[in-house]
Structure formats: structure tokens, C-alpha cells
Chains A and B, each alone.
Chain A
């Protein structure tokens, strides 16, 4: 357990979500028959009480780094004036977190009550005199500290996407919110407009199985290292020798060693039961395009831009509350199609919309979800496309905001 709490504390720092020292250091606790923490901190005595009130075995306490701190503080304040919940519209949050409860102070009972109902809680914590000043995100788990890590990083991702989506929507409706303008200006310097240069990846086509595994592990690590996706989100596959090698469900892209399933294309085994939930979409895309490599990530501005819709058009649309599954309008960003579809292979799953969209493009954005890109024989081209599309989305977003704010 000690190894795990330290590992996930380190991953939060590496992901840029937390500070490596000082009061912003993340706290990760794990309980078997004894409770262990990654460090000591004044908040821990209070947090230990959560273990007594909740049937959990781990917990992550995150005081997010900029820009997440400013974003979450803003959204938390807004939520507390209303339902007490942040309601992100991105796919991951809709599916797994549902909504994000917010409490005003570091009040044990309020935190317990929120965590009895949802996988995370945000504490606004405006009182800097309080040792537990905020904003803070807390996420517990009942299996492994990894759940807490996933929980807090998902909250940060969801809040980032929500803030930027809502800001664009606000500007498009012609409304003003000086507070939101200020927060936007504060967080803008943290937005990378140009991603890192393309890394040197293994060149395909690959002739040995071990090279396939190595290339996938390398591509996964580089995506994370280049900041193209949050480390946990996404999946990756490569087709070789009539077998699709695909990352396992819930596998972290920067830790793919031992987490890749070989799935024979002839369906002769069902060992792919642990493969990514997007296995069907990958298989159909490979079959349709003849490509060998697929990368899927959740680059933030791809997600944000995919949900951008003209307010007047949206108001008139009969599916305005089901955009993620029923958007009837063929949409593109430049030449990149944007399609609806949920996670997995249900009736509204993206497996029903994604593969056909690859007929006209080597990259496809799924509404509120992320970006899929293909590579003919290796991950180099796919990686390059991933970078280019996210840059395009970022720049397109910023251009729109500039235009709407300043004319």
C-alpha cells in the first residue's frame, strides 16, 4: 500500500495537477489494516475521520495547481449559488462521475454527505486562515488509490472543459460576465498553443510481435510526456499478423507494459474481454481503412470545440439535450468530422458512428469525448495528426474568443 500511495502522489505531480512541495503537495492515503499516507500534513487528522465515516480504503486530497485552482474555484462558487453541483457535459463525466458536488467549507459532515453519494467532492474553501483552504478536490476509492487518482484528475479535466466550453457559449450568446472574463485571462497563460515537437517514434511496419508491444508502449508514454492527453485517458491499438493489439480497459497510457491484449481478428478467442471499451470501434476502423495504428486521446480543446454549437441553432434543435448521442447535423472542424457517440458498444455507442467517419479523414473527433487518429503503418503519422488537430482546435477556440471579446 505504501508503494501505491507514493506512486499516485507522484503521478499527480507529474501530470501538473499538484505541487511537488509545500501546501500544494497531494495527499494520498491507503488503508488495509493500518492507514498509510504518502507524507505528513496538517489536514491528515481530519481526513482520517473520513475513513471512519465511509466504507473506503483509500483517498486522494488534491489542492490543484494552476490553472485548475482558479477554474475550480470559479465553478465551485457558481455551483454554490445554484444546485451545489457542477454539471459537466463531457462524455467521461456524464458516464462515470455524473455530476460534481461542491461544499463551501472544510466541514466534515458536508464532505461525508457528498462522498456518500458521489465519487468526489470539491471544497470551495475561501477562508485562507483555515488550514484546509481551497479549492480542494477529494476522491476516495474502495479498491486502490488509483481510484482516487482517477477521480481527482477526472474532476480537473471535467472542470477545465466545462469552464472553457461555458465561456465560449457565454460569449456567443452576447452575455457578459466580468468575473469569468478575469478568470479566463488568469488561466489563459497556462494554455499551450503549440505542442512539443514530434518525438522520434519506432518506425513501422513492424515484423515482430515484440516490436508491436514496444511501439505501443513507447507511443503511449510519449503522448503523456508531450502533454497531449491526461495520462489516464485514451487507448491505442496496432494490427499485426491478423491480430489487433489493443490497450486494456482502464490502462494508463504511460503504463502500457503488460496491459495490452492481443485480439485475433477472426474472433477465435474472447481474451479481448479485458480490452478497451472501444475495441469494436478500433476493429471496425482497422477493417474499414486498412490502417494498422490507431491512437485515441482526450485532448482538451478537441473535447471543448466538439461541444461548440451555435446558440440559436441549438435552441431550435429537438435533440439539444442529447447532443452527445443524437446530434443530427453533419459537423466538421476544418476537414475533421465530429460525430456523436457514447463510450462503448451500446445502441448509442461511438462504434456506430466513428468507423464510417474515417472514410473521409484520418482523424475523427467524438462529441464531448476526444480524438481518434489513424496511422498507416506506425504511430508517427498518427501522433503528428493528433498534435495537429489539437493545435487546430486550440487555435480555433482562441480565435473565436478573441473575436467575440474584442471584435
Chain B
């Protein structure tokens, strides 16, 4: 095979055994890699609890990983979420994916539980379980310094993953994270502190010349993209470039989504960080966009917060200090917690307790959550569980238990629908409608209308399932499309595949996730938004009105989505559609 290595390592922590599994070329073609292959391995374990020893934690690369394909250095982690009860997955940046592929593995599937803390070390074909008792309790920074991975890729958890924080993250290569859905706890419950990978091999590419040409087409498109390579694009300003835009468009979540503009925003934007920190560019292996920013001045080496963190640790929490945001970002990463879920949980707490955070109390609360101290014990279960426990469930700004990112859905109705129907909860990345609703790509759509959005969301979900499985970065799809990536895929694998063939694979991957989630009891009742968005307006102005979302129109759009997706009116997958897609029907 070209593209794939054909080998998957099954690592059983209970029996301390490692087995090699191979899959048929047909299976690879159907599930591609990354998220697709992860869901295939998760499927038979759907009946198990997230912390059952047999529940796998999968780390997969894709056929494009460790090739010259643009933005193909990422990997994807999949398990069952301790936060949401849904399938858990998250894309991981850094270089661990490239190293894993170079080591000769398409992925690893970790099952069982270790009695003692353990590290998984992979050096080409050799996989070793190494005692990590000395690292247990360490922050992710400390683990990085201790292991000094140099060229190797490192994924590790911090204290949050050890102390059963439901939104614990996996931190990769120091500056990157598989942040969402609590995958850090999935590793922590198996007592896996870290995964260290180094490889010396090369991914076999069928047609390097064709790959080079396809790559040039993609480079040309990214160069033409204001959002990626423009004067204020991600390459120059980082994802923080979105900060001003969200405020200008009146969709910056403010005071726990009670308002949609934040008066001090102009002083807390990407330019403010650029002036204070003089950041340099940094990025994932194999990426030319380099959206990550690292400070260079007296604070040298400090990672700049991503847009979501910038927004939620200011507007959402009513704070106005970029140094505090940077410190909170570092603290979350070091402790191994998702910044979005952390901030929304704290915001929920602030609304219920009616007490503002100070810099000291904020940073202290982050420690309390990760270390399971004081009020942190209640907050570590996430916003939804905390709000329920306080008798105020409506204060949790979450969908299916996953806290919402920094886009107020009253300002973008595709985003509203995307949040509601996403297979991993309140996620902006499954359908990523800011592309057309805000960034005008491939063309602009009316962000205050549900017209046409049901099919747009369905198609975009299929697309992003492919992106997470190939694997590429979603950002590059602000400029390029599957038209270009299908040529990359064909050049790498030698398979004659079109964009629409890949979309068909994406549809299967998405539907498979719907089947998994339905078996966990999820249906149309859960595909909903917090009531606040239907009852309260956002912050309007003379030019822009931000009314509450019309619930009837939302329900109509959701029903249209179910019809387009091939679900029942209850939001459940159907046997006939599963058969049509060639998916197994609840046989596990």
C-alpha cells in the first residue's frame, strides 16, 4: 500500500501485551484514517462505559501524514467522552503524528488499565511500556522538560487528567493540545502519563510529481486567502485575528453568553498581544501557515493564547488583562485542561455564585480544579454537571455537555444549527460555518438566516470528517477544497479518487458516529441549544440587530437537517440509511 503503513499497534495495558493488527485495503479506503479509523475501533465498545478497561483510546494518523501534503502533520485521538457521554475525539497538532507514521504505524489502540503510571515509548517498530511513577503529578511542562523529546513527538497529560477532570486535555509537543471532550482523562484513567514517539521511516508516495503539482495548487490558493496568509490572517496574527471580527460582528460571547459585544475588546485583540509579546511564528510539522505564536521578548517562549482562549478569558468572564489571559492559558495547558471548557465552566460558576474573578482567584481556581481541591471538586465535572448540581441548569452554556466555543450562535445561524447537531456536542469545528458566515469563503451566506443551512451543515460535516481522517488542518479549507485534496490523496495512495468519493467516505464516518451516539441514548432531544439563545437578544447596535433565535425556525432547520442526513424525525439513524451507506447496524 501507498500512504498507509498497513500496521496498527494494539497495546493492552492490563496484560502488558502489544499486538500488530492489519486491516484490509478496502477498510482503509472506507475509513481513511484519523477520526474515521478511530470510530471503527470504538464502535464495538459502544455499550461500555467510558472508563471501562476495554474502552480503547485510539491515536491515528492518516494516509497523508508524513508526506509533503500541506498541513498533514496532525493526528487524531478518539475514545468515549467522560464529559459528554458521546464519542470523544480531537485533532492533535505538533509533530507526534508525523513521528508515529515514520515509526511505521498508522495508529495505536490502547486498551486495558495499568496498575501503575506508565509511559508508552515508540521508537520505530519497538514499543515499550515504561514506568512513569516519577512523572505522575507533574505538569505537562515538567514532563516535557524531564523527557526532553527533542525530535521525538510527545503527548502527555497533566494533573487534571490524573484527578478525573472531565475536560482534561492531552498536550502534544508542549504547545499543542487535543483539548476537547476530556481525552486527557481517558488516558489518565488508564494511568498513561505520556506517549513518546520517534520514527525514521518514510511514508510511501505513489506519485511524488503529481503530489508536488497538487501541493503547488494548494499553496497558490492559501496565498490568495486573506484569512490565512493576508495582512491580518492567521499566519501573521495567529487565530487571535478572529477576536476583532467577532466583536465587530456582535457575536463575541460576553458574560456567560448574556451579551455579544465586549466594550474593552479593542484593547485586548491580537494587535495588543503582538505589541506586548513580539511573537514569532510556530506551527505543526508539515504546515506552512504557522498559526501558532510564541513570544520572543522578555517573556520568550510563552505561547500566545488561541482565539477561543483570548475571547473566553476576557469577554465571557468579564476580565480585561491580556497578561492574565496568557497566564491562564499557560496554566491550563500546564495542568492539562481544555481552555474552552474551563472558561465556560468558570463563567457558569461566576453567574451562579455572582462573584467576579480577580487574577489571583482565577489562577487559583484553575489549580483547584486540576488538583481536585475545594470548589474545584464540583467544577471539574464541567459546566453542565455543575449547573445541574446547583439547581441552575440553564446557566450552563453547553450542548450535550460540551461547553460552547467563542462564537455566539445568535450571530450566525449555521453555527447555531452546527452546535446543536454536532456529534461531539457544542463544537464549532464539525461544520465550521464561520467559513461562509463570517469569512466569506467559498462565498458569503446570510448569517441571520436558516435558509439553506441544513444541507450546508450536512455537507460541511461530511467534508470535515474527511479532513479529520486524511488528516489535514481545517484552516486550510478556508482556501483550498477537497477538489485539490483529492488530487493529493490520489497522488499519495495511487487510488483514483475524486472529491465526491471522499465526501461519500465522510458521510459514512459521520453517520457511524450518529449510530454510536444513538446507542448511548442520544437523540433529537439532545440536539438543542441552551434556552438563553431563544429567549434573550444579543447586543445590537444601530446597524446590526441580534435578536433571540426564533425557536420555530431553528426546529424547522433541525428537522430539515435530519431529512438531509437520513435520520428519523427523532434524530436517530435508520437501518435503511445505514445499509445504503454500507455501515453495520447495531450489531455489537
Binding site for B on A (CB under 8 A): 1, 4, 30-33, 53-57, 94-96, 98, 113, 115-119, 141-144, 146-147, 150, 248-251, 259, 263, 267-277, 279-280, 283, 342-349
Complex CA–CA separation, A263 to B233 (angstroms) = 13
Complex CA–CA separation, A119 to B442 (angstroms) = 12
The smallest beta-carbon distance between A46 and chain B, in angstroms, is 18
B223 and A273 contact, CB distance less than 8 A = no
Taking the complex as formed, is B486 at the interface, i.e. its CB lies under 8 A from any CB of chain A? Answer: yes
Of B223, B233, B442, B460, the contact of A349 (CB 8 Å cutoff): B223
Tally B residues with Cβ within 8 Å of A: 57
Of A32, A248, A263, the contact of B440 (CB 8 Å cutoff): A248
A116 and B500 contact, CB distance less than 8 A = yes
B452 and A57 contact, CB distance less than 8 A = yes
Chain B contacts for A95, CB-based, 8 A: 220-221, 224
B226 and A249 contact, CB distance less than 8 A = yes
Taking the complex as formed, is B504 at the interface, i.e. its CB lies under 8 A from any CB of chain A? Answer: yes
With A32-B455, A57-B456 known as contacts, the answer to whether A273 contacts B443 (CB < 8 A) is: no
Chain B contacts for A55, CB-based, 8 A: 459, 462, 500, 503-504, 507
Chain A contacts for B223, CB-based, 8 A: 342-349
The smallest beta-carbon distance between B94 and chain A, in angstroms, is 25
The closest CB in chain B to the CB of A248 belongs to B440
A344 and B442 contact, CB distance less than 8 A = no
The smallest beta-carbon distance between A107 and chain B, in angstroms, is 17
Given contacts A54-B500, A96-B221, 6 further A-B contacts (CB under 8 A): A55-B507, A96-B224, A248-B444, A250-B442, A268-B266, A272-B232
Chain B contacts for A30, CB-based, 8 A: 452
User: Which of B123-131, B161-169, B237-245 lies at the binding interface?
Assistant: B237-245
Chain B contacts for A279, CB-based, 8 A: 226, 230-232
B215-259 vs A, Cβ < 8 Å mask (1 yes, 0 no): 001011111111101111100010011111100100000000000
Of A57, A144, A250, A273, the contact of B232 (CB 8 Å cutoff): A273
Taking the complex as formed, is B271 at the interface, i.e. its CB lies under 8 A from any CB of chain A? Answer: yes
Complex CA–CA separation, A346 to B564 (angstroms) = 39
The closest CB in chain B to the CB of A275 belongs to B226
The smallest beta-carbon distance between B37 and chain A, in angstroms, is 22
Of B224, B438, B453, B507, the contact of A274 (CB 8 Å cutoff): B438
Tally of contacts, chain A with chain B, CB under 8 A: 171
A142 and B230 contact, CB distance less than 8 A = no
Complex CA–CA separation, A32 to B560 (angstroms) = 8
What are 5 A-B interface contacts by the 8 Å CB criterion?
A: A55-B462, A55-B504, A142-B460, A143-B443, A344-B224
The smallest beta-carbon distance between B505 and chain A, in angstroms, is 11
Chain B contacts for A272, CB-based, 8 A: 226, 230-232
B440 and A273 contact, CB distance less than 8 A = no
Complex CA–CA separation, A98 to B217 (angstroms) = 8
The closest CB in chain A to the CB of B240 belongs to A270
Chain A contacts for B452, CB-based, 8 A: 1, 4, 30, 32, 57, 143-144
Taking the complex as formed, is B19 at the interface, i.e. its CB lies under 8 A from any CB of chain A? Answer: no
Interface hub of A31, A119, A274, A279 (most chain B Cβ within 10 A):
A274
Of A117, A270, A276, A346, the contact of B244 (CB 8 Å cutoff): A270
Chain B contacts for A117, CB-based, 8 A: 483, 486, 498-499
**9 closest Cβ pairs, A-B complex:** A346-B223, A116-B498, A270-B232, A344-B224, A33-B560, A343-B224, A116-B500, A271-B244, A55-B503
B462 and A144 contact, CB distance less than 8 A = no
Chain B contacts for A274, CB-based, 8 A: 226-227, 245, 438-440
The smallest beta-carbon distance between A206 and chain B, in angstroms, is 19
A142 and B456 contact, CB distance less than 8 A = yes
Complex CA–CA separation, A105 to B444 (angstroms) = 33
A32 and B454 contact, CB distance less than 8 A = yes
- Within B424-476, the residues touching A (CB, 8 Å) are 436, 438-445, 451-456, 459-460, 462
Chain A contacts for B242, CB-based, 8 A: 273
B226 and A273 contact, CB distance less than 8 A = yes
Complex CA–CA separation, A344 to B223 (angstroms) = 5
B229 and A270 contact, CB distance less than 8 A = no
Complex CA–CA separation, A55 to B506 (angstroms) = 11
A94 and B220 contact, CB distance less than 8 A = yes
The closest CB in chain B to the CB of A258 belongs to B543
Chain A contacts for B456, CB-based, 8 A: 57, 142-143
A273 and B442 contact, CB distance less than 8 A = no
The smallest beta-carbon distance between A275 and chain B, in angstroms, is 6
Chain B contacts for A275, CB-based, 8 A: 226, 230-232
Chain A contacts for B442, CB-based, 8 A: 141, 143, 147, 250
Taking the complex as formed, is B269 at the interface, i.e. its CB lies under 8 A from any CB of chain A? Answer: yes
A277 and B483 contact, CB distance less than 8 A = no
Of B219, B453, B500, the contact of A346 (CB 8 Å cutoff): B219
Chain B contacts for A349, CB-based, 8 A: 223
Taking the complex as formed, is B501 at the interface, i.e. its CB lies under 8 A from any CB of chain A? Answer: yes
A277 and B226 contact, CB distance less than 8 A = yes
Complex CA–CA separation, A271 to B445 (angstroms) = 18
Chain A contacts for B47, CB-based, 8 A: none
Chain B contacts for A94, CB-based, 8 A: 220
With A33-B564, A117-B483 known as contacts, the answer to whether A143 contacts B232 (CB < 8 A) is: no
Taking the complex as formed, is B563 at the interface, i.e. its CB lies under 8 A from any CB of chain A? Answer: yes
